[in-house]
Structure 1
Amino acid sequence: MSAPTRSAGPAVRGGRARIAERTLRTDRWWLSPLLTTLGLATFVIYATIRAFVRTAYWVPEYHYLTPFYSPCVSTSCAPGSSHLGQWFGDFPAWLPLGVLVLPFLLGFRLTCYYYRKAYYRSVWFSPPACAVAEPHAKYTGETRLPLIVQNVHRYFFYVAMIVSVLNTYDAVVAFHGKTGGFGFGLGNIIIVANVVLLWAYTLSCHSCRHITGGRLKHFSKHPARYWVWTQVSKLNTRHMQLAWTTLGTLVLTDLYVMLVSSGVFADPRFVN
């Protein structure tokens, strides 16, 4: 005799279980998206204000230039702050002096894989947390406007590399003494640390990892690219931490330059 068959039970119909609660989680799942939103909003508000105020962004004695105004290539810029020359005439008051690169840096950050994850979950609630239903009726991903534009991230990466070179040049120029020649102060440490971390964030980008090691069928035939890809991959595991750290160092650098330029305190000097 054949073994009796087990009943499959009643069929489940209607898709997701009908639960009145948004989630059955009892922990503070909302805390992470809330902190992320507050952190991003704080930076955006601060950076926007500083980009438009046009004051206290340049310390002529030590050649300190805030990254929010680099490169400053307009005749509206403070004397001496135009390291690359003055390519344009006066900018109207509604136009930031760093407009040459700010849109590209904004695009690079907005389309960054980590930032997309951060603001998708915390701002758009897509989804806000694990096991928490999102409020959207349908999901189309990044296949339609405006989110399909996220695919241009790799091109923003190229511009970000150029901007990192400009920031490095600004950091070198900042080793200037009050009486001329070489000088070194606390501001130099802050500016250089910011540039190093910006390089680390830029090079840890997923696009950089793809550029260095993508489209290779055999790593053994490309040992140099394999080594570079390995180093970038190590940085890539810290991409989220670097994304947040560089927001902090950008604010710190700008705030320090602003306070020194405003005369709130003098830059502690170690040399000249």
Structure 2
Amino acid sequence: MSAPAATGVRSATRARIAARTLRTDRWWQTPLLTVVGLLVFIGYATVRSFVRSSYYVEDYHYLTPFYSPCVSESCVEGARHFGTWVGELPMWMPLAFLSLPFLLGFRLTCYYYRKAYYRSFWLAPAACAVAEPHARYTGETRLPLILQNAHRYFFYAGFVISLINTYDMVVAFRSPSGFGFGLGNVILLVNVILLWGYTLSCHSCRHVTGGRLKHFSKHPVRYRIWTLVSKLNTRHMQFAWITLGTLMITDFYIMLVASGTISDLRFVG
């Protein structure tokens, strides 16, 4: 039985070029940096999501995004901003079990991240004018990649989780003496603003606001929103990377304060 015909760059209709590429620039640099950046975040986020320590500062109500929402009896009492919904969780389950799967799905199915990890981890292709090592190409028409079409639904979940992060940020403007804020509040606020930037610049958000309209003139409000989202959409890649950094910075700062390694720099209260 003969092997199936190649459908990628080595198919019968493509030019026969023995070399992987004729490019002489450092085309491999971008996929390499992408791999390193994503692995750093994945490693840090995985460890911090399961250690169950130093994730909440009781005096200032700082709650790291990696543990929000915290709704089980395994959470320290003050971190349960939305109450206690379930009992003790086994150690293999993260305390933010309600949000992390949806956040992971939102990022994994994101149009930009798909491009990033397709090119860097799967080399499909690693760069323009660089042949990929795969003999066949089926796109996103089969399992598991056909599940990428669920991105719009993960966007809805991501929107709700951004609201939860916003609530956590507002709650943190409390101190033992009442209203107060410190460096932790500034970090939480910046992180939430950038997370909203990533969420609202999503391609699915652009489609939701105006993708089905045939006559913009009949829907001036939605057209205005679509215009604003479209401007944000041009910065989606930047928001995708910046928010990975701000999430780690926010969590790391709260971890240092919660563990007593440093004291929060207070401005008021």
TM-score (normalizing by structure 2): 0.94
Residue 70 of structure 1 and its aligned partner are, at CA, apart by: 0.3
Aligned counterparts of 1:183 and 1:204: Cα–Cα separation in 2: 31
> CA offsets, 1:24-63, max 9 Å, x none?
1111110100000110111001000000000000000100
Aligned counterparts of 1:17 and 1:62: Cα–Cα separation in 2: 64
Structure 1 unaligned blocks of 5 or more: 1-13
- Confirm whether residue 213 of structure 1 aligns to residue 226 of structure 2: no
Higher-Rg structure is 1
- Confirm whether residue 248 of structure 1 aligns to residue 218 of structure 2: no
Which one-letter code corresponds to 2:192 in the other structure?
V
> CA offsets, 1:55-83, max 9 Å, x none?
00000010000000000000010121100
- Identify the residue that residue 69 of structure 1 maps to in structure 2: 67
Residue 158 of structure 1 and its aligned partner are, at CA, apart by: 0.5
Aligned counterparts of 2:214 and 2:171: Cα–Cα separation in 1: 43
Q: How many residues align?
A: 259
Aligned counterparts of 2:17 and 2:164: Cα–Cα separation in 1: 55
Which one-letter code corresponds to 2:254 in the other structure?
V
Structure 2 unaligned blocks of 5 or more: 1-11
Which one-letter code corresponds to 2:48 in the other structure?
R
Aligned counterparts of 1:50 and 1:42: Cα–Cα separation in 2: 12
Find the residue that maps to 2:72 and give its secondary structure.
coil
- Identify the residue that residue 184 of structure 2 maps to in structure 1: 187
- Identify the residue that residue 9 of structure 2 maps to in structure 1: none
> CA offsets, 1:219-246, max 9 Å, x none?
0010000000000000000000000000
Find the residue that maps to 1:80 and give its secondary structure.
helix
TM-score (normalizing by structure 1): 0.93
> CA offsets, 1:107-161, max 9 Å, x none?
0000000000000111111110011000000100000000000000000000111
Which one-letter code corresponds to 1:60 in the other structure?
E
Aligned counterparts of 2:91 and 2:191: Cα–Cα separation in 1: 28
- Identify the residue that residue 263 of structure 2 maps to in structure 1: 266
Does 48-57 or 14-23 show the bigger shift? 14-23
Find the residue that maps to 1:270 and give its secondary structure.
strand
Aligned counterparts of 2:185 and 2:72: Cα–Cα separation in 1: 25
Aligned counterparts of 2:130 and 2:111: Cα–Cα separation in 1: 22
Residue 22 of structure 1 and its aligned partner are, at CA, apart by: 1.0
Residue 21 of structure 1 and its aligned partner are, at CA, apart by: 1.9
- Identify the residue that residue 113 of structure 1 maps to in structure 2: 111
Identity of matched residues, %: 71
- Identify the residue that residue 6 of structure 1 maps to in structure 2: none
Which one-letter code corresponds to 2:47 in the other structure?
I
Residue 180 of structure 1 and its aligned partner are, at CA, apart by: 3.2
Find the residue that maps to 1:246 and give its secondary structure.
helix
RMSD, aligned α-carbons: 1.1
Match of 1:226 among 201, 216, 223: 223
Aligned counterparts of 2:65 and 2:14: Cα–Cα separation in 1: 50
Residue 17 of structure 1 and its aligned partner are, at CA, apart by: 3.9
Which one-letter code corresponds to 1:183 in the other structure?
G
Aligned counterparts of 1:157 and 1:79: Cα–Cα separation in 2: 30
Aligned counterparts of 2:207 and 2:77: Cα–Cα separation in 1: 42
Aligned counterparts of 1:93 and 1:221: Cα–Cα separation in 2: 54
Match of 1:88 among 65, 70, 86: 86
Aligned counterparts of 1:190 and 1:139: Cα–Cα separation in 2: 44
Aligned counterparts of 2:174 and 2:80: Cα–Cα separation in 1: 15
Residue 18 of structure 1 and its aligned partner are, at CA, apart by: 3.4
Aligned counterparts of 1:208 and 1:101: Cα–Cα separation in 2: 19
Residue 214 of structure 1 and its aligned partner are, at CA, apart by: 1.3
